[in-house]
Amino acid sequence: MAESVSTGTFNMESYYARGDHTLKVPMSLFRENRERLIARLKRNSDVSAAKTFVILQGGIEVPFNDTDTNWPFRQESFFQWSFGVEEPGCYGALDLSLEKSILFVPRLPAEYAIWEGKLHTLEDFKKRYGVDETYYTDEIKKTLKDKGASLLLTLHGKNSDSGLYSQEAIFDGIGEFEVNNTTLYPEICECRVIKTAKEIDVLRYVVKISSEAHKTVMRMVRPGLGEFQAEAAFLNYIYSIGGCRHVSYTCICGSGHNASILHYGHAGAPNSKILEDGDMCLFDMGGNYCGYAADITCSFPANGKFTDDQKFIYNAVLKARDAVMNAVKPGVSWTDMHLLANETMLTSLKEGGLLIGDVKDMMKSGLNEIFQPHGLGHLMGLDVHDVGGYLPGHPERSTSAGIRKLRTARTLLAGMVLTIEPGCYFIDCLLDDALTNPNQSRFIVREQLTRFRGWGGIRIEDDVLITETGVENLTQVPRTVEEIEHWMAEGRNELKLPQDK
């Protein structure tokens, strides 16, 4: 839905919203992103603005196998960042010299109105998305030729998390232009790393909605509930209350042993277990609004009361999170924050009798990677694992045990949004390896470890904004043992399963 609102910049500026109760996202957010990209490219000594255009290709609808239905459409992230366009099949161009934006939309046959409703005009799209000019996609070559375009900057780069390459624009006649596909990717990624005030508003909103959804789920959880029913309650809340049609990733609703499976919830294990009394739940879920992601993990007991062992492990993870929260600020190395979290957690595990020996020696042996086989967190924005983790001019990915899984090793800057998500897991294959490794097994108290076999794991994940002086935690959920038990206690005696209501 695109509507209009009066602002100081435009008399009638369009915005994205899903009902009057949801956040109104002004199209000026995307105009500012385009302006930032143009300014950055013009500072690049390898780029001449004259006759140079950025050309981006939006996402396309993807058929469901060989049927005549499609997967729910989500816009390609770089295109969303630049234009905020909801429709598939579009292209966008930026004229570096004149600093103008151009949107190209598909020319749909008239009969499409039968299936899709009123077909919008070029002027409709121009007003809706706040661009300077609009044309049809079959006019891309002619339009660029008429404007004297000589060099096209296209998007081609490898995502350091997935290993996949971004979608490079291709259109009929592109071979008649000079194409540079190496300059744009690192520059636009660097722009996406630092969020604007308007982007932060959207992230703050989607994290708040996701926080409230997590709290709603915590209140309904009880033994006998299906993991999938908790997932369904989360999805219902973020969509019906928050206007989030999409989640940012498949919900992870692990209970008991499943809480030790880092990406549980996949097709082979689709949140299908029934919660049992004594289970710990690890629910990792995040809504998506106007393309922007949330990513929150809450860990809590299915029956609402922590056992002593559950408190022990939970508080070890919470201390790690708190240590990072107190230390994180601009100028700090993310690698150092990861190591701080790991050292803090191992110290707590030693104090609780699960480990023995010198904690620094444990770290040198890579024992930290046994109990937390993932990084401290990741950049977040339009992608839940956002771009920019490993770019030229920044630290490269390490191959050393304990830090090789980090999704970024950057020095923190104000305006970054990241997750802080330490965890402690009891994963059989990793524990078996550690117990056969003399450099690691010497630190493990085997008889204490036995009672945690099959127990699962705990993760505490917050979405944070790096500020000029420190950090702002955007996540708003109960975090201490006492807060969780107090929150879950209300109405617990009257809880019913959804199917029994």
Task: Indicate which residues carry an active-site annotation.
Answer: 68, 263, 284, 295, 374, 378, 385, 421, 425, 459, 461
Helix (H) or strand (E) holding 211: helix 197-220
Token pair in block for residue 402: 């304990």
CB of 388 within 8 A of CB of 407?
A: no
Q: Which of 473, 422, 407 is nearest to 193 (CA)?
A: 407
Q: Which amino acid is at 12?
A: M
> DSSP alpha helices (H): ranges in 396-445?
428-435, 438-441
Residue 12: Cβ-neighbour burial (10 angstroms; 0-12, 13-18, 19+): exposed
Determine the angle formed by the axes of helices 481-489 and 197-220, rounding to 10 degrees: 60
Paired strand residues for 299: 282
CB of 127 within 8 A of CB of 14?
A: yes
Q: How many CA atoms lie within 13 Å of 387's alpha carbon, on the beta-carbon side? A: 23
Whose tokens are 């694992």? That residue is: 385
Q: Which amino acid is at 475?
A: T
Q: How many CA atoms lie within 13 Å of 224's alpha carbon, on the beta-carbon side? A: 8
* Distance from chain centroid for Cα 188: 18
Cα(394)–Cα(55) distance, integer angstroms: 26
Q: How far is CA 498 from CA 9, 221, 281, 413, in A?
A: 49, 10, 18, 45
Q: Taking every pair of C-alpha atoms in the chain, what is the biggest distance, in angstroms?
A: 77
Residue 448: Cβ-neighbour burial (10 angstroms; 0-12, 13-18, 19+): middle
- What contacts 58, CB < 8 A, 6 or more positions away? 75, 76, 79, 83, 85, 87, 88, 89, 90, 91, 92
Q: Which of 188, 161, 164, 190 is nearest to 397 (CA)?
A: 161
Q: Which amino acid is at 437?
A: N
- Specify the 3-state DSSP secondary structure of 368: helix
Residue 424: phi and psi, rounded to 5, are -135, 125
Token pair in block for residue 48: 């001449």
